Amino acid sequence: MSSDKRLLPGFLAVLVAASLLLSANLAHAQSDDAPTNVIFILSDDHRHDFMSFHEDAPDFLETPAMDRMAREGAHLKNAFVTTSLCSPSRASILTGKYAHNHGVVDNSTRVPDGTSFFPEYLQENDYRTGFIGKWHMGRASAEPRPGFDHWISFRGQGSYNDPTLNINGETVEREGYMTDILTDYALDWLDEQQNSEDPFFLYLSHKAVHAQFDPAQRHEGEYADVEPDYPASMANTEANYRGKPNWVKEQRFSWHGVEHMYHGELEFDQFYRRYVETLLGLDESIGAVLDRLEANGMAENTIVIYMGDNGFLLGEHGLIDKRNAYEESIRVPMLAWAPGTIDEGTTIESLVRNVDIAPTIFDLTDTSAPSMSMDGTSFLSLLQGRENTSPDESRAFLYEYYWEHAFPHTPTTFALRGDRFKYIYYHGVWGLNELYNLENDPNEQHNLINIPAYQDRVDSMRTRLFDRLESEDAMQIPMRRGNWQADERLQDAGSSPE
């Protein structure tokens, strides 16, 4: 055998080793290119279309920071919550689970013992974690919760002005406007991360723009002269209520209806104007975070995700608030910004949900949690430019809302929402269920539930809905004692189930 042939196996071994090393280096380089720091900004009651870049936004509205996130990053235009209510939605974000699985089915239910939140696993993965803002889940107290190295929060809904805060277990009284105060704490915490070698995760959770709305003093009267853009379905006409369940028209004259808002304490036009004025402070907060990341040289290594905890109706079907399964209630704003990683001006059409946040952040941070089962799936591939092209049937998601003693006007609601059709089922009430062709009827004004041509669709979606509820053991409707007003602990906390 020649010396060349004797050397060949060794040469091949070296070549294979070099190839493996090169592949490993390339993979390492690719992971280094991805953001390692994550900032998740959550707002309250911000509807999906009230961002000035949005095609359906009011003409007068200006949200430059949100516009910047969309312009320099991605707008996830079909983002939804699986329960449109503060506590259940927040629990779904932190657990990656539907309400029937995490158990926080309303604003008064405590978090079940043994519940895990995704930031706990980031801590195990050497992430420094901070929570700043509104918790409002499980109970009204403000003490630190698992998963966070740094904690700033307040009881229940808190207050827009001069709040009492819990800072790492200590009670602190602050003067000023809540949105600004939370933003300043967030910026200070980001400054502290500059010289650390460990990655960080910040959860900035605003009170704004929760009702009752209270804008910063500098924004009061900003939109005093604007005329609200009344939705077509707000009119109290026979045509608008034809095909609608009875509870919808009845709610028009209740706490969450345009004719008797908050028991007649509020007038719609003023309510609307204060909503958009309160939104301005929230937008400024987002802008301040982006600016500080750039000033600190951390923008290229950080992804910022912004979303709302639920939507909000402003007159649609004669209603305000959320809870129901109509689009304005379940759709939320969602933006993602990561310079150098997310292509500028990306618009993502695929459906994403609040239960998808936790698995996406695990994906971003290369974190695994084998003991934490989740209903959501990562949408990181969407941020990387790969749209979901699976058919509507497989992409439909479950919506659930459970009747509350405190606000009895909205019935227990289950829905299946796909790309094109939405089926809504109401539990325990007489009246119509609903089916909408969202492609032809995006404002949900024409209920197809009794149209003969759509009966196969109705039967199919109803069957799929109940098959899903049954397979996930979600057929147990929760019961409540119905004595929330006499609950001294809730009253002592200065909270309400709203």
Q: What is the DSSP string of 399-458?
A: EEE---SSSTTS-EEEEEE-SSEEEEEEES-SS--EEEETTT-TT--S--TT-GGGHHHH
Do 402 and 105 form a contact (C-beta atoms < 8 A)? yes
Residue 28, pLDDT score: 33
Which CATH code for domain 34-230+266-397? Answer: 3.40.720.10
Query: Nearest CA to 167 among 146, 150, 147, 148?
Result: 150
Residue 339, pLDDT score: 95
Using CA atoms, how far apart are residues 271 and 211, in angstroms rounded to an integer?
9
What are the pLDDT tens digits along the chain (498 aa)?
444 444 434 433 433 344 433 333 333 333 445 579 999 999 999 999 999 999 999 999 999 999 999 999 999 999 999 999 999 999 999 999 999 999 999 998 899 999 999 999 999 999 999 999 999 986 678 999 999 999 999 999 999 999 999 999 999 999 999 999 999 999 999 999 998 899 999 999 999 999 999 999 999 999 999 999 999 999 999 999 999 999 999 999 999 999 999 988 889 999 999 999 999 999 999 999 999 999 999 999 999 999 999 999 999 999 999 999 999 999 999 999 999 899 999 999 999 999 999 999 999 999 988 888 999 999 999 999 876 655 555 568 999 999 998 899 999 999 999 999 999 999 988 889 999 999 999 999 999 999 999 999 999 999 999 999 999 989 888 877 666 554 434 434 444 556
Report in angstroms the alpha-carbon separations of 389 from 351, 392, 419.
11, 9, 11
Question: According to DSSP H, which parts of 195-313 are helical?
Answer: 238-241, 246-251, 268-295
SS3 148: coil
Residue 38, pLDDT score: 98
Structure tokens belonging to residue 335: 């933006």
Using CA atoms, how far apart are residues 199 and 128, in angstroms rounded to an integer?
6
Residue 429, pLDDT score: 87
Its pTM stands at: 0.91
Phi and psi of 293, rounded to 5°? -60, -40
220 alpha-carbon distance from chain centroid: 27
Please classify residue 35 by burial: count the beta carbons closer than 10 Å to its beta carbon, then call 0-12 exposed, 13-18 middle and 19+ buried: buried
Structure tokens belonging to residue 60: 């007068």
Residue 483, pLDDT score: 60
Using CA atoms, how far apart are residues 151 and 135, in angstroms rounded to an integer?
10
Query: Nearest CA to 117 among 139, 94, 140, 136?
Result: 94
Q: Which residue has the tokens 């939804």?
A: 80
Q: Which residues, in sequence order, are CB contacts of 377 under 8 Å at separation 6+?
A: 356, 359
Please classify residue 10 by burial: count the beta carbons closer than 10 Å to its beta carbon, then call 0-12 exposed, 13-18 middle and 19+ buried: exposed
